[in-house]
Amino acid sequence: MSEKTSTKEHWKSYWKTPDHQPPVVHKEMILELEKVVNVRGKKMLEVGAGMGGDSVRLATLGAKVTALDYTDEALDAISEYAKKQKADVETVRGDTRELPFKDESFDIVFHQGLLEHFRDPLAILKEHVRVLKRGGYLLVDVPQTYTTYTLKKKIAIARGTWFAGWERAFSIGELEDLMRKAGLTVIRSYGWG
């Protein structure tokens, strides 16, 4: 099971099930972002947006948000949720490894619960840096190595019952090192959970 990868087919199937995760707003992540930058008027990209809870919340705070996912099922759910919340969120289908945007397109690129699904996280980060404007911000929120959540996840992965396929976790130091290797300057780190 440890060699399993998260695939597009897996996520398409997951988003079609009636008991998939609802739109979640990661309040801790948004509070950390707001400590660094005012999002109002900023052009933002959420990569691997899932149900889009964070994109919708940031749009209600005045950001110009594009939510990218590679399944139509997730994008349809984001559009529906944004409409209910009276939020303007553009949805785009695409792959995190080859973003369908020009270089330096966004003030802020962010993702929550994405990087851990890929075996080469540095390549993913470099692609996200490509679409980030000079002086922009990349926010990466991932499962942390030293939490009970990660312990439960590892047990479920070993049993073959984890909903999201293969995943890994990161320590803050590992993530900071990856960010520097991607050409970024780390200005803030945080942990929660």
Distances (CA, A) of 34 to 4, 30, 31, 108, 125: 36, 6, 5, 12, 21
Per-residue pLDDT at 25 exceeds 60: yes
pTM of the model: 0.84
d(CA 189, CA 167): 21
Phi/psi of residue 89, nearest 5 degrees? -130, 120
Closest C-alpha among 153, 152, 108, 156 to residue 131: 108
pLDDT at residue 192, as a whole number: 65
Stretch 98-109: mean pLDDT, rounded?
98
The pLDDT confidence band at residue 3, using thresholds 50, 70 and 90, is very low
- For 137, the 3-state DSSP assignment is strand
Q: Which residue has the higher pLDDT, 135 or 73?
A: 135
The pLDDT confidence band at residue 161, using thresholds 50, 70 and 90, is confident
